[in-house]
Structure 1
Amino acid sequence: MRYEGAGLTVVFVLTFFVGLPVLCGTWPYSAYYRGEGVGSSSSSADDDSSALAYLSQVETAQQQPEEEEDGRRPFLLVTIVTVRREGQFYLSRVVARLHQLLSKYNNEQHAGNDDTIVIRAMICNVNDDPQLHREALHLQRIFPLVQRRDQLSVAIHNLMDKEKEDYVFCLNASRRSAADYILILEDDAVPHDDLLPVTRRFIDYFNQQRPRRRADFFYVKLYHPERLQNYLQPEPWRIAEWLAVSVLSVYLLQVVFRFRLRRHSFWLVYFMALVECLGRPHLLQLKRWMLARLVADPAAGYNLLQATECCTPAMLFSNTSAATASAFLSSITCRKGYAKDTALYLHSRQSGGRLQSFVVEPNLVQHIGRVSTLRRNH
């Protein structure tokens, strides 16, 4: 028994103090990540160059936004909320990626003779002086542009309420398109490959469930910060998932790989510590990658869960729920500690189940900004 205990200690030390620090030093969401900031400037510059080159090609091929050539009512409208960011090309990266995804999605639909689903995009410029946001003005050659020209009566120090008022404006502008569903993207949320097919799949799911729920969803978050996705978080269901993953790992060692394990409590704690140190976001991506190769449905690798509080880089509304959100936000004043994401979350929680909100895991967008997309730029 003494030698067995010593052996387990060696396994623990080699895993958590030797192996994982070497393996996970470049894994952004692991406990051992030490590469913050390394190469980020170069990577961002490369992404900017690629996006600008792609947009230049698109502009050469078309003289006006494609959406203006089609008068059909959209099923889904993707609205990009933007303010000017000095020296950054976040908006260009989002527009370039979204245009790529829309082109691919539309081509696949035409190949399948499915012409009933129309997805469009537009840019919502909420800069204090819209004419100063030259990047947005330039990109209206790609997607239609709406911009607010009225001067807000919001105190300059209350940036939280400024964000909220901008969001309400873009919600209302989106609703005027008569789209059935509205996806609000902030201009530092770059879409992943699965954004459009998975979003449509979840909309179909809600439509199937509507007779039982007797109401549409309030909103669906398509992004939650990775740093808040690990197991040591307030959501109690994550503890159950944490235990389940650890028990499954012990089972695989014993039954599949035929290891003879004696101290099951040690191995249970070992795997709980292992998966937390590796980072739950990496496990979510591994599950998504595996299921994408086993199941034809791209949504199979994603979970739909009860919403958590933070944040709003990518939010899906129905046209009806967008009106509800707009009316509610217009009735309140946001402040520090009570931003629009907190307000919407609390409003949903306090509705007695009438307004149900959800979050998708893993994320369907990548958040590339260091601060809120709507904060005032000086």
Structure 2
Amino acid sequence: MLRRWKCMQTVDRVFVRQYACLCVMTFCVILPIICLHLQHSWYYLLWEKNTNRDMNQMRMNNNKRIEEAENFLKKFRDTRSVHESGDGRLHVDNVDVGITIITVSRNRRLDNYEPKYFTQVVTKLMKAMEETSKLKHTYKLFLCDVDSDPASYSEIRPLTKFLPVFQRFRSDLNNTVVWPRMSISERLEKEKRDYVFCGRKTLNANVSNVFLIEDDALPHQDLFPVLDWVISTNFDKSNADHIPYRKNITYIKFYHPERLLGYISFEFERIPELLCLGFILSTLMMLCYQKYRPVTTSYTRILWFCFFVYSCLLLLLIGRQSLLELRRVSRQLYQVTPAPACCTPAILYPREGMEEVLNYLSSVQCKENFGKDYALEEFRIKLKKTGLQVQPNLFTHIGMYSSLRNKVLDPSIV
């Protein structure tokens, strides 16, 4: 018995030294080097507090995307006829998904810079649609101009040569919507009415599903393969019968602010996800350690717990957002979870869900601190509907110039 106790003490001292060395090397040397440029790691966030985000760099990146978009448009103009887009199925009847980009002019009052987010988003989608012929579902692209002064909105004009447009306000009328005189509540209400207008117009275009996208939500290159998979697995009645949270699906969000996708969140699935990953990682570490230095069964639990704490801390410091990027390896690895309340840059609706949402939004008044996203969440809760979210994000928010507030915002915050 005494010999066994001495042996455990020896193993204990050895393990403590090894564990301390592992923690110091991991958290003080290796992770700072690896994670300093991972935007949502704790190391990046701590460093960012002492640095200013470079708006000039964001503008340079935006200019590069504008150049790529305009080059694509030029080539497209040379090779395609009017109202022919993507895979050539723009006029296919009874399409599965009608994709509508809601647009309004930006930055008319702050400076002379033209961000051209709308051009970037449309051309990215047009380019991606060239590959949709290989997918199960059919897609059709629309533009929805909700600018209160459409005659002066010049950015949309080159794109109307290739794509059908829904226009809320007529150019030849004296529109009553005047931006400088509108309060934030009036702007939020206008935004909601714009959304309802574009959704209803898309429904009338004889589509089975409606995908509404705001004009500063830049799509990821994997959008259409994942979108095709999501529709098949979530809107198929036979699949929904086996998974309770997929019943009565009203919408599926394809974007949520990345700063809100971390483990520390009000979303109930995040902490169990952290604990499960920590359990798996710590078990693998324990198995490896057992091969390297066998220990008694009674001592194994203590060592496993130490590895579990290490694993959870490792995952937290790296950041859930960075780990989510590993899921892009395959569309089947994308995660579909209950949707949070915030934000509407990119949402997919089945036809029935879109009709219900439009009817409800038409019956409520938006005001300060109650935008269309919270009206949508209120609808979901009251009618006991299901809203889902796809992770990682399939869109990037690039809008520095807000269409609601007359100022420049960091797009990563929204």
Bin of the TM-score, shorter chain as denominator length? 0.7 to 0.9
Q: How many residues align?
A: 360
1:275 equivalent in structure 2: 315
Q: Which moved more, 1:15-24 or 1:340-349?
A: 15-24
Give how far 1:71 is off: 4.9
1:128 equivalent in structure 2: 148
Give how far 1:2 is off: 5.1
Which secondary structure state, in structure 1, belongs to the residue aligned with residue 42 of structure 2?
coil
Candidates 75, 78, 81, aligned match of 2:99: 78
2:161 equivalent in structure 1: 141
Distance 1:6 1:280, change over 3 A: same
1:207 equivalent in structure 2: 236
1:44 equivalent in structure 2: 62
Q: Which moved more, 1:52-61 or 1:136-145?
A: 136-145
Distance 1:98 1:69, change over 3 A: closer
Give how far 1:224 is off: 1.3
CA distance in 2, matches of 1:314, 1:252: 38
| Structure 1 stretches lacking a partner, 5+ long | 293-297
* 1:20 aligned onto 2:60: no
For 1:139, the aligned partner's letter is L
CA distance in 2, matches of 1:211, 1:274: 36
Asked if 2 retains the 8 angstrom alpha-carbon contact of 1:131 and 1:137, the reply is: no
CA distance in 2, matches of 1:305, 1:360: 7
Asked if 1 retains the 8 angstrom alpha-carbon contact of 2:208 and 2:350, the reply is: yes
Taking the TM superposition and a 5 Å limit, the aligned residue runs for 1:121-270 are 121-149=141-169, 151=175, 156-157=182-183, 158=185, 159-205=187-233, 206-209=235-238, 212=241, 216-255=248-287, 258=291, 260=293, 263-270=303-310
Asked if 1 retains the 8 angstrom alpha-carbon contact of 2:256 and 2:393, the reply is: yes
Percent of pairs identical after alignment? 29
CA distance in 2, matches of 1:148, 1:229: 35
For 1:96, the aligned partner's letter is T
Taking the TM superposition and a 5 Å limit, the aligned residue runs for 1:31-110 are 31-33=42-44, 34=47, 36-37=53-54, 39-66=57-84, 70-86=91-107, 87-106=114-133, 108=134
2:374 equivalent in structure 1: 342
Taking the TM superposition and a 5 Å limit, the aligned residue runs for 1:352-363 are 352=384, 355-363=385-393
TM-score normalised by the chain length of structure 1: 0.87
Candidates 339, 354, 365, aligned match of 1:333: 365
TM-score normalised by the chain length of structure 2: 0.80
| Structure 2 stretches lacking a partner, 5+ long | 1-11, 108-113, 294-299, 408-414
For 2:261, the aligned partner's letter is Q
Asked if 2 retains the 8 angstrom alpha-carbon contact of 1:85 and 1:377, the reply is: no
1:375 equivalent in structure 2: 404
* 1:8 aligned onto 2:8: no
CA distance in 1, matches of 2:327, 2:90: 40
Which secondary structure state, in structure 2, belongs to the residue aligned with residue 218 of structure 1?
strand
Q: CA RMSD in A?
A: 2.6
For 2:36, the aligned partner's letter is G
Which secondary structure state, in structure 2, belongs to the residue aligned with residue 55 of structure 1?
helix
Q: Which moved more, 1:175-184 or 1:69-78?
A: 69-78
Asked if 1 retains the 8 angstrom alpha-carbon contact of 2:327 and 2:392, the reply is: no
1:295 equivalent in structure 2: none
Q: Which moved more, 1:163-172 or 1:153-162?
A: 153-162
CA distance in 1, matches of 2:169, 2:358: 19
Distance 1:249 1:259, change over 3 A: farther
For 1:362, the aligned partner's letter is P
Asked if 1 retains the 8 angstrom alpha-carbon contact of 2:132 and 2:138, the reply is: no
Asked if 2 retains the 8 angstrom alpha-carbon contact of 1:137 and 1:145, the reply is: no
Give how far 1:14 is off: 3.0
1:313 equivalent in structure 2: 345
CA distance in 2, matches of 1:245, 1:69: 44
* Rg larger for: 2
